[in-house]
C-alpha cells in the first residue's frame, strides 16, 4: 500500500516580541535592546504550542525564540540561547484558542444593503454624459449580503485617504489587513483591543457614554478604531489627508449589528 501523504504543516501563531519580554531575565532584555529587536514578531509553531498548552506551561529557549523571529539572527550565537523563557498564558492562551477555532474555515462577515456605495459604487466608472448601459458591479459574487474579511479590507483601502486597515479579534489576533510602513500589522493587532479597552475604561470613569470609536492623531496621520461586536476595525489614513468618517462609521455599525 502506498504511504499516506504528509499532513500539511500547521501555521504558526504570530505574537509581537514587545508583548512577551517584559518579565524575561535582564540579560535577554539587554540583548533585545542592543540588537534593536523590540519591534520583531515571533512565529510560534502551532504544534509546539499545542503540546505546551496541554501541560499548562508555555516555555521555550531563547535560541528557539530567536530562530522564530522575523529578523535576522545575530552572527554569533547568544550566550543565553539555552535560557528557558516563560510565555504569559493570559496572552498566549486566548490567541491560541482563537487561532485554532478560526483555522477550519474562513468566516464570512455579513454586510447589509444599507451601505451600497462602499461595496459597489466605488469600482464603477463615472457616468457618461449620454445614457449608457449600467455595468454589473465588480463584486457580483458572493451574494451582496456576504463579504469575506479580505473583500471588506480591499474595498476600505480603495476609499480616498485610506492607507491601510485591519480587522482584529478581541484577543488581538489579526483576521486580515495591511498596515502602511513603518507600521507592523501584527503589532497593531496585538495592542488595539488593549488600547481601546484602556481608553474605554477612562471614558467610563469620567461618566462618558460607552466607547464605540476612537480616533488617534499621530503627526499628520489619523487612525480610526471601531468596536464592531466581537471584532475591531482599524483604519489608518494617509499623512495629511482626512478619512471618510461617515462611510467608515456606517460600515462599523453594520458590522456590529451583523456580528454581535
User: What is the per-residue pLDDT across 182-199, written as a single tens digit (0 to 9) for each?
Assistant: 898 888 988 988 899 889
Which of 45-59, 91-105, 109-123 is predicted most confidently?
A: 45-59
Give the span between the Cα atoms of 75 and 41, in whole angstroms.
Answer: 19
Tell me the domain boundaries of the chain.
12-102, 109-118+143-258
Tell me the average pLDDT across 151-158. 88
More confident residue, 206 or 120: 206
Q: State the pLDDT at residue 11.
A: 78
Is the pLDDT reported for residue 105 higher than 70?
no
pLDDT-derived band at 136, boundaries 50, 70, 90? very low
For residue 233, the SS3 value is strand
User: 203 in helix, strand or coil?
Assistant: helix
Q: Supply the DSSP string of 7-62, one letter for each residue.
A: PPPPPEEEEEGGGTGGGS-HHHHHHHHHTT-TT-EEEEEHHHHHHHHHHT--EEEH
**What is the pTM assigned to this prediction?**
0.51
Superfamily of the domain at 109-118+143-258: Dynein light chain 2a, cytoplasmic (3.30.450.30)
Q: Which residue has the cell 493570559?
A: 90
pLDDT at 226 over 60: yes
pLDDT for 246 = 82
Amino acid at each position: 500500500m502506498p504511504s499516506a501523504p504528509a499532513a500539511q504543516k500547521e501555521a504558526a501563531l504570530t505574537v509581537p516580541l514587545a508583548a512577551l519580554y517584559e518579565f524575561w531575565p535582564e540579560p535577554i532584555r539587554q540583548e533585545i535592546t542592543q540588537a534593536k529587536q523590540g519591534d520583531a514578531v515571533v512565529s510560534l509553531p502551532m504544534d509546539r504550542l499545542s503540546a505546551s498548552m496541554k501541560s499548562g506551561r508555555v516555555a521555550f529557549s531563547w535560541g528557539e525564540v530567536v530562530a522564530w523571529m522575523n529578523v535576522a539572527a545575530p552572527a554569533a550565537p547568544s550566550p543565553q540561547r539555552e535560557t528557558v523563557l516563560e510565555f504569559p498564558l493570559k496572552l498566549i492562551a486566548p490567541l491560541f484558542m482563537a487561532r485554532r477555532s478560526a483555522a477550519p474555515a474562513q468566516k464570512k462577515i455579513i454586510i447589509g444593503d444599507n451601505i451600497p456605495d462602499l461595496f459597489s459604487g466605488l469600482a464603477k466608472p463615472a457616468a457618461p454624459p449620454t445614457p449608457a448601459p449600467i455595468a454589473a458591479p465588480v463584486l457580483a459574487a458572493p451574494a451582496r449580503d456576504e463579504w469575506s474579511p479580505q473583500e471588506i479590507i480591499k474595498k476600505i483601502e480603495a476609499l480616498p485617504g485610506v492607507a491601510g486597515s485591519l480587522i482584529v479579534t478581541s484577543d488581538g489576533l489579526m483576521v486580515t489587513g495591511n498596515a502602511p510602513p513603518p507600521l507592523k500589522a501584527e503589532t497593531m493587532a496585538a495592542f488595539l483591543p488593549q488600547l481601546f479597552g484602556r481608553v474605554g475604561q477612562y471614558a467610563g470613569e469620567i461618566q462618558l457614554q460607552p466607547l464605540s470609536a476612537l480616533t488617534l492623531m499621530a503627526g499628520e496621520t489619523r487612525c480610526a478604531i471601531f468596536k464592531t461586536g466581537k471584532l475591531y476595525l482599524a483604519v489608518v489614513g494617509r499623512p495629511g489627508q482626512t478619512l471618510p468618517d461617515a462611510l467608515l462609521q456606517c460600515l462599523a455599525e453594520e458590522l456590529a449589528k451583523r456580528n454581535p
